[in-house]
Amino acid sequence: MKKYAIGVDIGGTTVKLGLFDQDGGVLEKWEIPTVKENNGSGILPDIAVSIKKQLASMNIGESDIEGVGIGAPGPVDAEGTIYRAVNLGWDVFNIPKALNAYLNLPVKAANDANAAAFGEMWQGGGKGHMNLVAVTLGTGVGGGIIVNGSILTGATGAGGEIGHIHIEDTEPEACGCGNHGCLEQYASATGVVRLAKRHLQQDRQPSVLRDQKLSAKAVWDAVKAGDQVAIRIAQQFGDYLGKGLAAVAAVANPEVFVIGGGVSKAGEVLFAYIRPAYEKYAFHGCRNAEFALATLGNDAGIFGAAGLILN
Amino acid sequence: MKKYAIGVDIGGTTVKLGLFDQDGGVLEKWEIPTVKENNGSGILPDIAVSIKKQLASMNIGESDIEGVGIGAPGPVDAEGTIYRAVNLGWDVFNIPKALNAYLNLPVKAANDANAAAFGEMWQGGGKGHMNLVAVTLGTGVGGGIIVNGSILTGATGAGGEIGHIHIEDTEPEACGCGNHGCLEQYASATGVVRLAKRHLQQDRQPSVLRDQKLSAKAVWDAVKAGDQVAIRIAQQFGDYLGKGLAAVAAVANPEVFVIGGGVSKAGEVLFAYIRPAYEKYAFHGCRNAEFALATLGNDAGIFGAAGLILN
């Protein structure tokens, strides 16, 4: 048995890397910039160079490394082929084969949200569960679905794209994906702000939210302070998200939903608004699913990527 | 390698059984009544007796049987434990262990809709695909999801219960499950009739549907004959089903949807109404999923049950 594995999480501005031991402990974390020139053709060579440098500096031989896991921001199929990553300039190619041109180690690749879900299952808020749905409430709404301990990749790597479940028939504005009424339009950080703006326009009641720059954090802080308008915003957020997760449950029937991303910093208060709506919309066979907070934060991706190798 | 496997599909009135060869060919099909007295405690013993009789009559030894697959009408987990089957009077127990008291052969069990989905993948309309969603448009709307060639069972056997995805916020009537606005309320055979009744009340236009007993078949026959009211009913049916399947796709990202059940007897004309709605609501990464008709009909369950043993 090799001693270590490396987890890599490729983001739009930085690549996060981590060296993990067999028990899932992270021994070292570091970052390099994501160089997107020439359609991101330097990203994988940069990763190879950085890994070699890091290992040399720690006096670890490549022969001690079981493999490298990669999380990438685009649809990735079960063989590690990515189907475009717009943020990186990447077209369609096989990530393990491409990285092997620069680094002779076993490589596995997954979509970054799926890798993060895998990380939360392995060492995070979903530890101990083999069937979970990770929900990332950030700029958008991302998802990752773990079935019997494996990532649900789907036919074209779009498994778990739960932010684009249609949830509202009357939405006039378009989602980033071009559709109207996607879950992401209400449950992301920007979605919470949109809901808040609409409520503040329609609702005559006083609210602390009228006197400050709107953000998801401001809304949840106001909820915690008992602001009635903020509470109604939270109820609508919860209704949308609960409805969307009930649809997810009717398909995947998870043991637990692990909620992460910026919006989840509000903490357990979220569940007071999500759970009643979830229970209202969910099929009775799925109604007992648990809700947990993600615990790995921005490291979920490198944990999950390393976990692809170590599990 | 053993020569044969047996597939069993337990329904509310009859139990279907089939003897299959290793290539998935069905050599013999037969049925016995489902005896529901005493909370269905005689069902598994009856199945064991019937299998022994059938094998004896064909001069086949139990030693030539690789195993028995069972499809049962309730949530069944990955170990074959059923969590109640209301139609049979069954409570919670492990089906393989229970059947083994009467029949000493390897047993696997699955939910009947999931078994049917597996059958359609193995020998039916989804042959050649490893990621598919089977949709049964019958009295209700059932679903079965195959991920990488395996049934998505879920935490409590409720994986693929897609008939209970919430799809309509304004539905005044309750679904059989107790919720309001489930996909099943619009896309099942009874759902099509409900949509038809509502349209015929609101729509003043003449229609052949006004002069006959309403049924899903009558609606689709009228659609094929160019009846404008029927076409509007089909459009609404397609909109609901397309929206629901787009939600399923955002989770499971299948290669193909295999549509079966009584409503699917209408044939390819269904796709003219489902596909445009699906493409409207689906995330772009899932939009290319194919649509196919189920081909195994009422035998999908025994095929899939045998397939659990032979795959």
Transcribe A87-123 into DSSP letters. Answer: TTTEEEEEHHHHHHTT--S-EEEEEHHHHHHHHHHHH
Among chain B residues, CA nearest to A278:
B166
> Which one of B145, B169, B283 has the shortest CB-CB distance to A177?
B283
B251 interfacial to chain A (CB closer than 8 Å): yes
Residue B96, φ and ψ in degrees, nearest 5: -55, -45
Chain B CB within 8 Å of residue A236 CB: no
**Is the Cβ pair B289, A158 closer than 8 Å?**
no
Q: Mean pLDDT throughout B286-304?
A: 97
Residues of B with CB below 8 A from A247's CB?
165-166, 247, 251
Predicted pLDDT at B84 = 85
> How much is the mean pLDDT over chain B?
96
CB B286 to CB A160 under 8 A? Answer: no
CB-CB: which of A159, A281, A289 is closest to B166?
Answer: A281
CB contact set of B213 (below 8 Å; sequence gap of 6+)? none
Q: Which of A125, A112, A117 is nearest to A311 (CA)?
A: A117
Q: Grade residue B2 by pLDDT with cuts at 50, 70 and 90.
A: confident
Environment class of B111 (CB within 10 Å of its CB; exposed 0-12, middle 13-18, buried 19+) = buried
- Measure the CA–CA gap between A305 and B86, rounded to whole angstroms: 43
**Amino acid A280: pLDDT:** 97
Flag if B158 and A286 touch (Cβ within 8 Å): yes
Q: Residue B132 CB: number of other CB atoms within 10 A?
A: 30
Buried b (16+ CB within 10 A) or exposed e, B71-90: bbbbbbbbebbbbebebbeb
> Of A171, A48, A120, whose CA–CA distance to A304 is shortest?
A120
Residue whose token pair is 């006039």: A172
Return d(Cα A241, Cα A238) in angstroms, integer.
Answer: 5
Report phi then psi at A35, rounded to 5. Answer: -95, 110
Helices of type H across A156-268? 184-187, 189-202, 216-224, 228-252
Residues B133, A153: Cα–Cα separation, whole Å: 14
B147: its two tokens = 């991920």
Q: Is residue B85 predicted with pLDDT exceeding 80?
A: yes
Contact A75 B283 (CB under 8 A): no
The whole-number average pLDDT for the span B10-18 is 95
In angstroms, what CA-CA distances link A180 with A86, A201, B274, B281? 21, 21, 18, 8
Give the pLDDT score at A111: 94
CB of B14 less than 8 A from some CB of A: no
Closest Cβ–Cβ partner in B155, B162, B178 for A250: B162
In the prediction, which pLDDT does B87 show?
Answer: 86
Is residue A255 within 8 angstroms of chain B, CB to CB? yes
Segments in chain A below pLDDT 70: 1
pLDDT at B41 over 90: yes
Helix-strand-coil split of chain B, %, nearest 5: 45, 25, 35
Please judge whether A169 and B169 are an interchain contact, meaning their C-beta atoms are less than 8 angstroms apart: yes
Integer CA distances (angstroms), B90 to B39, B111, B225, in order: 6, 13, 45
pLDDT at B139 (0 to 100):
87
Which residues does chain B have within 8 Å of residue A154's beta carbon, measured at their own beta carbons? 131, 147, 252-254, 286
Instruction: Kindly report the nearest CA distance between residue A19 and chain B, in angstroms.
Output: 30
Identify the pLDDT of residue B22.
94
| pLDDT for residue A2 | 83
The answer to whether A83 and A94 are in contact (CB under 8 A) is: no
Question: Chain B contact for A194, CB < 8 A?
Answer: no
pLDDT value of position A268:
97
- Distance from the Cα of B230 to chain A's closest Cα (Å) equals 23
Identify the structural domains of chain A with CATH numbers, from first to last. 4-120+299-310 (3.30.420.40), 127-295 (3.30.420.40)
Which residues have CB under 8 Å from A306's CB, separation 6+?
A5, A6, A7, A18, A20, A24, A26, A69
Spatial CA neighbour of B272 closest among B228, B223, B227: B223
Nearest to B273 by CA among B225, B234, B233, B219: B234
* pLDDT beyond 80 at B1: no
The pLDDT value given to residue B86: 85
